[in-house]
Amino acid sequence: MGSDAPKWASEPCIMGIDEAGRGPVLGPMVYGCLYCAASYQKTLPSLNFADSKTLKEEKREEIFESLKSDGSIGWAVDVIDPKELSAKMLKKNKINLNEISHDSAIGLVARVLGMGVLLTEVYVDTVGDAEKYNIKLSERFPGVKFIVSKKADSLYPVVSGASIVAKVTRDRALHDWVLEETVENMHRNFGSGYPGDPETKAWLKHHTHSIFGFPTLVRFSWGTCSPYFKDMVEVLWESDKLGEEESSSCGKRQLKLSSLGFTGCKRRSEEVESSSKGRCMFFQSRKLEQMTHF
Amino acid sequence: MEREGGSSDGFQNGILGNIDLRPRESVLDLTGQIHHLPCCIKHDGPSSVSHYFKPKKTGIEVEVLTIEEACFRGRKLQGTTISLPDGYSGLVLGKKKNPGKRKASEISEANLNCWEIGAKFQSITYWNHDSLPSQDDTFLRCFHWFAVANALHKPITDDDLASYISSSKVKLMGE
């Protein structure tokens, strides 16, 4: 998604990057960028960009349509699926949201440069520590000057523009979302997706499943989900247990597991592992064991 | 299943029980629907699996294994479907619900611990969390046992014996 490199792209260009949907417990997170020739910069304020959050939805849509038809402006988006957010944040080696955000912004810069746009200055709303983020970006793209700051979306029109691109894309993605799950009684009144939104809360509550948790629209890694998990069937992962071992609180839980006869997991427990003494190496290394109880 | 902690008797003899492997009319074929997940789900019972669990082919192949992708509770899973070798079947056993009326004297552990086939399957999909399936996975390496079991337990035929004898003769003559 986005536009191809126009003629003015060989002039020195500026770009703004902003995100939408970082906080919500459901739906995609969208990174958007907007770029134009540095010489066009002074025209930007006349387009009435403002931080997307301060604008009404219709106004944002209207501005998005007008900037799409503006030949002096280019834009691109990176839509990160909630499934991908959950998966990355719940990997064995967890990737946190800041890292995912940084990677997405880096991806946009690389994509726009790759299109042949001569970026000289890039304005970014900060994620985490601004200075560290700036170093990370500058090291990756030595030819580009990065301006990383808090509230960049209200300070720089080019970032305000990017925030509109991101916000409108996120809203449309959520509006048109097709639930992957084929269960009856599901509906699409998600609300805003923000954890505090009563509509979102009601939707979450209505869409819990004791085994599967939630539809994949939901970001399972969000703290907002934790209270719901308490009422669901417990699921234990090897990767979680490794983490627990580090904090040395695993003993009890594993004992409980092995007494319940969950074979896949009980082998993790040292106590059971040691009972394989005398078992041939061939069987040990394949985790094969003669069953006398079932 | 019950055994007193101190008694070593039950452990040595195993638990008495029997499995009825006779084919029954109501045996379901679950081929293509058996999934082995890298986690413990503390639940035993039916669930609307196909409505939530949607494996997809990735088009990736690793060491002749066709890789599929799915997710469960937010985790990304990578898996592969393997056929069970010829001559082998996967069985889902269930406890016999009604072992029939018996005299009190006949009620023993063995009679109460009766199992029968509930379903069969000829393939199984196993899933890894965050790592591509590979021939080094313990799960696949378990299949090595079939070859070893054959070598150890397969009855020796007259032909086997004849060819063994002739080959050792050749060896002797060679020496």
pLDDT tens-digit map of A123-135: 999 888 999 999 9
Residue in A closest to B95 by C-alpha = A294
Say if residue A87 is in the same domain as residue A168.
yes
Give the model's pLDDT for residue B87. Answer: 87
Average pLDDT, chain A: 85
Give the model's pLDDT for residue B105. Answer: 56
CB contact under 8 A, B51 and A182: yes
Q: What total number of domains does chain A contain?
A: 2
What are the φ/ψ torsions at residue A16 (nearest 5 degrees)?
-115, 145
Give the model's pLDDT for residue A254. Answer: 40
Exposure string of B123-135, with b = 16+ CB inside 10 Å and e = fewer, is ebbbbbbbeebee
For residue A128, give how far its alpha carbon lies from the nearest alpha carbon of chain B (Å): 24
For residue B51, give how far its alpha carbon lies from the nearest alpha carbon of chain A (Å): 5
CB B11 within 8 A of CB B3: yes
Say if residue A118 is in the same domain as residue A261.
no
User: Is B14's pLDDT higher than 70?
Assistant: no
Residue in B closest to A83 by C-alpha = B74
Give the model's pLDDT for residue B78. Answer: 96
Say if residue A27 is in the same domain as residue A143.
yes
How much is the average pLDDT of A235-242? 77
How much is the average pLDDT of A19-33? 96
CB A120 within 8 A of CB A108: no
**CATH code for the part of the protein at B16-136:** 2.40.128.680
Give the model's pLDDT for residue A80. Answer: 98
A207 is a domain residue: no
Give the model's pLDDT for residue A252. Answer: 38
Say if residue A117 is in the same domain as residue A20.
yes
User: Is B68's pLDDT higher than 90?
Assistant: yes
Report which residue type is found at B109. E
Say if residue A11 is in the same domain as residue A140.
yes
Strand order in the sheet with A29-37: A73-80, A29-37, A13-20, A119-125, A145-149
Give the model's pLDDT for residue A4. Answer: 63
How much is the average pLDDT of A116-143? 95
Say if residue A151 is in the same domain as residue A251.
no
User: What SS3 state is found at A123?
Assistant: strand
Which residues of chain B lie closer than 8 angstroms to A92, CB-CB?
A: 129-130
How much is the average pLDDT of B8-17? 54
- For residue B102, what are the contacts with CB-CB under 8 A and spacing of at least 6? B111
Report the C-alpha gap between A61 and A172 in whole angstroms.
Answer: 10
Give the model's pLDDT for residue A261. Answer: 42
User: Is B106's pLDDT higher than 70?
Assistant: no
Question: pTM for this structure?
Answer: 0.81
CB contact under 8 A, A286 and B52: no
Say if residue A16 is in the same domain as residue A151.
yes
Choose between B93 and B171: higher pLDDT.
B93
Residue A84 known to bind ligand? no
Report the C-alpha gap between A244 and A286 in whole angstroms.
Answer: 25
Write out the two tokens for A83. Answer: 């499934």
Choose between A41 and A145: higher pLDDT.
A145
State how far the alpha carbon of A225 is from the alpha carbons of A94, A218, A228, in Å.
Answer: 17, 9, 5
Please report, for the domain that includes residue A85, its CATH number.
3.30.420.10
A275 is a domain residue: yes
Residue in A closest to B70 by C-alpha = A83
Confidence class for position A258, pLDDT limits 50, 70, 90? very low
Say if residue A170 is in the same domain as residue A264.
no
Confidence class for position A259, pLDDT limits 50, 70, 90? very low
End residue of a domain, out of A175, A209, A224: A175
Choose between B171 and A94: higher pLDDT.
A94
What residue ranges do the domains of chain B occupy? Answer: 16-136
Q: Which residues of B touch A (CB under 8 A)?
A: 1, 3, 11, 14-15, 38-43, 47-48, 50-54, 71-76, 129-130, 138, 141-142, 144-145, 148
Say if residue A102 is in the same domain as residue A241.
no
Residue in B closest to A82 by C-alpha = B74
Report the C-alpha gap between A14 and B51 in whole angstroms.
Answer: 47
Say if residue A51 is in the same domain as residue A162.
yes
Of B14, B40, B130, which is closest to A91 when you measure between CB atoms? B130
Which residues of chain B lie closer than 8 angstroms to A224, CB-CB?
A: none
CB contact under 8 A, A83 and B76: yes
What are the φ/ψ torsions at residue A188 (nearest 5 degrees)?
-115, 25
Per DSSP, A151 falls in state: T
| Bridge partner residues of A63 (DSSP) | none
Give the model's pLDDT for residue A159. Answer: 94
Say if residue A11 is in the same domain as residue A134.
yes
CB contact under 8 A, B40 and A90: no
What is the share, in percent, of chain B residues with pLDDT greater than 90? 40
Which residues of chain A lie closer than 8 angstroms to B72, CB-CB?
A: 212, 235
Q: Strand pairing of B56-62 and B35-36?
A: unpaired
What are the φ/ψ torsions at residue A45 (nearest 5 degrees)?
-55, -30
Lowest mean pLDDT among A84-98, A148-162, B10-24, B68-82: B10-24
Interface test with A, best of B35, B71, B131, B136 (most A CBs within 10 A): B71
Cβ contacts below 8 Å, chain A against chain B, sum to 100
Confidence class for position A277, pLDDT limits 50, 70, 90? low
User: Is A260's pLDDT higher than 50?
Assistant: no
Report the C-alpha gap between B118 and B20 in whole angstroms.
Answer: 10
Say what the alpha-carbon torsion angle A230, A231, A235, A237 is, to the nearest 10 degrees.
-20
CB A32 within 8 A of CB A169: yes
Lowest mean pLDDT among A90-99, A111-120, B137-146: B137-146
Least Cα distance to A31 among A87, A110, A86, A95 occurs for: A110
Say if residue A287 is in the same domain as residue A152.
no
Give the model's pLDDT for residue A21. Answer: 95
Q: Strand pairing of B114-121 and B18-20?
A: parallel
Confidence class for position A34, pLDDT limits 50, 70, 90? very high
Choose between B7 and A148: higher pLDDT.
A148
Confidence class for position A264, pLDDT limits 50, 70, 90? very low
Report which residue type is found at B100. G
Report the C-alpha gap between A50 and A38 in whole angstroms.
Answer: 19
Tens of pLDDT, residues A54-101 = 788 888 999 999 999 999 999 999 999 999 999 999 999 999 999 999
A40 is a domain residue: yes
How much is the average pLDDT of B15-25? 78
Give the model's pLDDT for residue A266. Answer: 42
Lowest mean pLDDT among A164-168, B103-107, B149-153: B103-107
Counting beta carbons within 10 angstroms of the beta carbon of residue A34, is it exposed (0 to 12), middle (13 to 18) or buried (19 or more)?
A: buried
Range of the domain at A96: 7-175
User: Is A273's pLDDT higher than 50?
Assistant: no
Lowest mean pLDDT among B17-26, B50-59, B85-94: B17-26
User: Is A6's pLDDT higher than 60?
Assistant: yes
Give the model's pLDDT for residue A293. Answer: 67
How much is the average pLDDT of A244-266? 42
What is the share, in percent, of chain A residues with pLDDT greater than 70? 83
